[in-house]
Amino acid sequence: MAVFVALGAFLMTLFGGWTAGRVTDRRHLVLGLTGGLMLGVVGLDLLPEALEAAGNEVFGVPQALLLFVGGFLAAHLVERLLAVRRAAHGIDDRTPQVGLTAAAAMVGHSLMDGIAMGAAFQVGGGMGATVAIAVITHDFADGFNTYTITSLYGNTRGKALAMLFADALAPVAGAASTLLFTLPQELLGSYLGFFGGALLYLAAAEILPEAHHAHPARSTLLCTAGGVGFVWLVVGLSE
Map residue 138 onto helix, strand or coil: helix
CA dist 229 and 212 (Å) reads 19
Residue 96 has pLDDT above 60, yes or no: yes
Highest mean pLDDT among 47-61, 110-124, 156-170, 177-191: 156-170
Identity of residue 125 = G
For the four alpha carbons of 136, 107, 230 and 191, in that order, the dihedral sign comes to positive
Q: What's the pLDDT tens digit per position in 183-201?
A: 677 877 787 788 888 888 8
Give the DSSP H or E segment for 58.
Answer: strand 57-58
Sign of the torsion angle spanned by Cα atoms 162, 11, 140, 125: negative
Dist. CA 58–CA 52, nearest whole Å: 15
- Average pLDDT (133-138) is 71
Q: Indicate the domain borders of the chain.
A: 2-238
- The rounded mean pLDDT for the chain is 80
With contact defined as beta carbons under 8 Å apart, do 171 and 139 qualify? yes
Q: How far is residue 11's CA from residue 36's CA, in Å, rounded to a whole number? A: 22
Q: Please give the Cα distance from 159 to 83 (Å, whole number).
A: 20
Q: Phi and psi of 57, rounded to 5°?
A: -100, 145
